[in-house]
Amino acid sequence: MQIYTNDDIRPGVIAGHRIAVIGYGSQGRAHAQNLKESGHDVIAGVRHGGKGWKNAQADGIATAEPAEAVKGADIIAILTPDMAQAQIYTDIIEPNAKKGAALLFAHGFSILYGRVTPRKDMDVILVAPKGPGDLVRREYARGRGVPALFAVEQDATGKARDRAMGYAKGIGGATGGLLETSFKEETETDLFGEQAVLCGGAKELVMGGFTTLVEAGYQPEIAYFECMHELKLIVDLFYEGGITKMNEFISETAKWGSVVSGPRVINSETRARMKEVLNEIQDGTFAREWIAENEAGKGAYDALVKADGEHLIESVGAGLRERMAWLHAPKTAEAA
């Protein structure tokens, strides 16, 4: 796969473009600040007097109500939660966007699952940094960048790909490295990673290990350290140098246990469940159930999240973390 850098992007491809950033949360705030500092004309579409409005003004970003921000914008970056995007598009963007504007997403959910059907005259593009907004901002401020994915779903103007790559460069993505994908690939792999590995899988593995030790009679505090606290140490090694680096830094006993016991926990049955999860993402089952849950008021969602928060590992961990001074120390200028 080719990785694109700043040198691969034609200079000035979005020069003179007005960019409306709709939503000023983690990603919206980072994108707007980085784009402005890259020399672009940026306006935040936020509710007057709200938190986003106040943050944008504090950051020196021009502000307007969303409908006003959309008018005249060449690129409209919709960086709000997935479930809010359909109404925002229908009520605010579609009636106000000028002909030939580009509609930009940071995640393809709304397009892939038919929540948003853009006008035929609009470019539909995606730029998805592979990191949270605060990291996107910090790395840009240091002269570096977080790698990003980009994609084109609809090229009405013949300029969609240039627009996506130019926007990605403006937020620092081309400094980190750009990978070309599709809305389908980005959405399905992102959802799968969240559910099977990063959030769902890791959480259940940690809680399952903790519960196994506690039910066997071990002290909850010891179980917490072994199953949750030390996970960060291993994940940092993965992050910095993959499995190879982990193996360089753990003991031979740990390595032997890893290769003989790991496959007994994550095995063919586990992978079959992962395949089920992926199938439900691919055929739209997950999206339909999540949309229905939102429309029903999120009762099941709230109950399940509440149950996670009330698990023994949470109360034990909260008490232990109170004694970890490094977690409560003020951030240094470098870490900020």
Q: Strand runs (DSSP E) across the chain, as ranges?
A: 3-4, 18-22, 41-45, 62-64, 75-78, 102-105, 123-129, 148-154, 178-180
Q: DSSP states of 244-279 as a string? A: HHHHHHS-HHHHHHHHHHHHHHS-HHHHHHHHHHHH
Residue 161 contacts residue 167 (beta carbons within 8 Å): no
- Map residue 330 onto helix, strand or coil: coil
End-to-end Cα separation, the chain, in angstroms: 33
CA 318 to CA 220: how far, in whole Å?
Answer: 12
133 is in an annotated binding site: yes
- Examine the residue annotation and report whether 40 is marked as an active-site residue of this protein: no
Beta-carbon contacts of 258 under 8 Å, excluding residues fewer than 6 positions away, are 250
The C-alpha atoms of residue 164 and residue 104 are separated, in whole angstroms, by 8
Closest alpha carbon to 108 in 189, 168, 191, 187 = 187
Annotated binding residue 24: yes
Distance (Å, whole) CA 144 – CA 336: 15
Whether residue 173 contacts residue 3, with contact meaning beta carbons closer than 8 Å, is answered with no
Can you give the C-alpha Rg of the chain in angstroms? 22
315 assigned to a ligand binding site:
no
Lookup: tokens for 244: 């190879």
Contact 176, 34 (CB under 8 A): no
Which residue among 107, 229, 311, 328 is the active-site one? 107
Instruction: Confirm if 35 and 170 have CB atoms less than 8 A apart.
Output: yes
Question: Has 190 been labeled as part of a binding site?
Answer: yes
219 is in an annotated binding site: no
Is 52 annotated in a binding site? The answer is no
CA distance 49 to 242: 45
Q: 26 among the known binding-site residues?
A: yes
Q: Check the annotation: does 25 bind a ligand.
A: yes
* Six token digits for residue 246: 């982990």
What are 277's two structure tokens? 């999860």
Q: Is 262 annotated as a binding residue?
A: no
Instruction: Show which residues are catalytic.
Output: 107
Binding-site entries for NADP(+): 24-27, 47, 133
Binding site members for Mg(2+): 190, 194, 226, 230
> Which residue ranges are tagged as binding site for substrate?
251
Q: Binding-site residues, please?
A: 24-27, 47, 133, 190, 194, 226, 230, 251
